[in-house]
Amino acid sequence: MITQLLLLPLVTALFQPARSVDQLAWISGCWGGRDTNRVYSEHWMKPEGGLMLGMSRTIVGGKATEFEFLQIRQQGTDIFYIAKPSGQAEASFKLIQNSKQEVVFENPAHDFPQRIIYRLLPDGSMTARIEGKMNGGERGIDFPMKRVPCP
């Protein structure tokens, strides 16, 4: 019991949501990845004025199949990830958890995904993950990426 009481402030500090978009600067820059049939990339501007702007693109067979306009935006004391995917309505996901290497945004009312997670790995690469319920079951898709030169 005493150990739990001593660790509680440490655990709370490690997983308390960011207070400023500036704390998510590690996401900024250009990232790219690929799997067997697609190439994907994300480009994020550094935080400034309470806002990070981003965009993503997926290429399959030499053709763009998906794109997305992205924001990480400070709104009062909250931070939101706002996505405008190709052919879909805009969706907002509230920051619910973060550490120096991970950030989790969530919108339980969204169809799929309900969570968007970015993880910075020890080798400097990053994984973007979308997850949530789909067709009655839990589903998750990882997008491993490495830093790439910005165009």
Q: Looking at residues 25-37, what average pLDDT do you find? A: 96
Predicted confidence (pLDDT) at residue 28 exceeds the cutoff of 60: yes
- What is the band of 136 on the pLDDT scale with cuts at 50, 70, 90? confident
pTM: 0.86
What class does CATH assign to 18-147? Answer: mainly beta
Q: What is the pLDDT of residue 16?
A: 56
d(CA 2, CA 4): 5
- What is the band of 12 on the pLDDT scale with cuts at 50, 70, 90? very low
Q: What is the pLDDT of residue 2?
A: 52
The residue assigned the tokens 């763009």 is 64
Show Cβ contacts of residue 121 under 8 Å, excluding neighbours closer than 6 positions: 101, 127
Domain ranges of the chain: 18-147
d(CA 73, CA 99): 18
Q: Looking at residues 72-85, what average pLDDT do you find? A: 97
